[in-house]
Structure 1
């Protein structure tokens, strides 16, 4: 990492935000989805909120990437593909698969946009400017393991979201206990999948920027998984006792 460039301080900022977010969400439940409630100001349809807050992570990453020095090298292009695999799905596919008429506070959407802009710049700059990856990196065990972990998390995230959508058929409302897939073990396998994804990214890029994103993902999603687990237990008397919140058999 450059030692004289302000870049490193933005990486440190993201790590600090991971800690702050984790502590805050241990006391404040994020007000959207099943936890939606008033008192957070104006709202927008959840589909609009997801599209607007996630799109910068895809579009800005591409802009920052193309403006950098290693943009036409093979390994950075592979990293670009992995990043876009997640965020094109999250920004331009997932919102249009959503069912129900939920809403999202504009404040939540705005904070997500700010974080995505920071995180996108930090990671795009690393893989296409400050990082140095020879073609041989494609056979390095760190890259291979990281990509396998990333893709495994991606599949878990998508399959878990699909199970949730199928619980709410078109025209039906209310919440039900999800079954099958990762839900056999934890209450939020979709969150676990995303944590696994970005842990894989941190391994594959072998960078402090990737680690910062992985830490933020944990800080952001682990408390939410705990809140979801408590909600399920309080809402359903027959909720499986053996099911954990986030980590199978442990937490």
Structure 2
């Protein structure tokens, strides 16, 4: 691993720390927390599409430039990554409802992060990492890949549940059933689990940095969403936690 690559990994970990600290004091102004004062805005659908696309397309480009691009295990890891990001980049934006908008500044910061993160992870699995066919029977892959898929499934299910509530009309409502019995944001919990599964399956510094950043970004937002639900709905289930059942 070159010094420049290691430095970029450390930059991403530093961004995770800075994000966690910043989000303790400021709630990112998009979605239900959207508000004025953050400069020009774009339609949320456009924002999500533009800011998430590099995570799929740039990743693919960097991957195809790697000398291990035709090997079986890297191809499987490529498939796992794209399973998440093709949906997030090119399906999810078109499932959004309403006329919500997103600050251009939020979109720009997300693009910058996704460029860095896609490069680091694609470079590792297609060039720097060593994944012989035997990796498919390694305990790290055997545990990490199912954890990734389980987290992805929870994330997709929880997002679909929220969209169903909005489609039923009447604005925001209390989601119920499944993991919503125990936490306010199973979609965020699923995504955090997903990327820790990726970190384990790839056993890579880039994967770990991404899992840490995902936690730093989504855990504070889960707390903010949990607080928002309690403020908006007096009958919100008191036993429900923000992110981790029975704990947080």
Indicate the TM-score class for this superposition, using the shorter chain for normalisation. Answer: over 0.9
| Mapped pair 1:237 → 2:221 | no
CA distance in 2, matches of 1:36, 1:174: 15
Q: CA deviation at 1:151?
A: 0.3
Instruction: Write the deviation string for residues 16-70 of structure 1: whole angstroms up to 9, x where unpaired.
Output: 1000000000100000011000000011111111000000100000000001111
Give the whole-Å Cα distance in 1 for the aligned partners of 2:52 and 2:147: 22
| 1:100–1:173 CA contact under 8 A, matched in 2 | no
What is the alpha-carbon distance in structure 1 between the residues aligned to residue 196 and residue 171 of structure 2?
A: 33
Q: Following superposition of structure 1 onto structure 2, how do residues 201-240 of structure 1 map, counting pairs within 5 Å?
A: 201-240=198-237
**Equivalent position of 1:166 in the other structure:** 164
5+ residue gaps, structure 2: none
Instruction: For 1:146 and 1:234, locate their aligned partners in 2 and report how far apart those are by CA, in whole Å.
Output: 37
> How far apart, in 1, do the equivalents of 2:58 and 2:178 lie?
33
Tell me if 1:57 matches 2:55: yes
- Would you identify which runs of 4 or more consecutive aligned residues in structure 1 move more than 2 Å? none
Residue aligning to 2:101? 103
Match of 2:10 in 1: 12
Q: Is the 1:70–1:128 Cα contact (8 Å) retained in structure 2?
A: yes
- CA distance in 2 between partners of 1:19 and 1:54 (Å): 22
- Structure 2 residue aligned with 1:68: 66
1:106-165 Cα deviation digits (max 9, x unpaired): 000000000000000000000011100110000111101000100000000000001000
Quote the residue 1:185 is aligned against.
182
Report Cα offsets for 1:177-235 as digits up to 9, x if no partner.
Answer: 11112211100100001000000000000111110000000000000000000000111
Q: TM-score, normalised by structure 2?
A: 0.98
Partner of 1:93: 91
**2: distance between equivalents of 1:143 and 1:112?**
29
Preserved CA contact (<8 Å) 1:119 1:213: yes
Is contact 1:53-1:113 (8 Å) kept? yes
- Structure 2 distance, partners of 1:5, 1:126, is 14
Deviation at 1:5, TM superposition (A): 3.3
Count of aligned residue pairs for this structure pair: 248
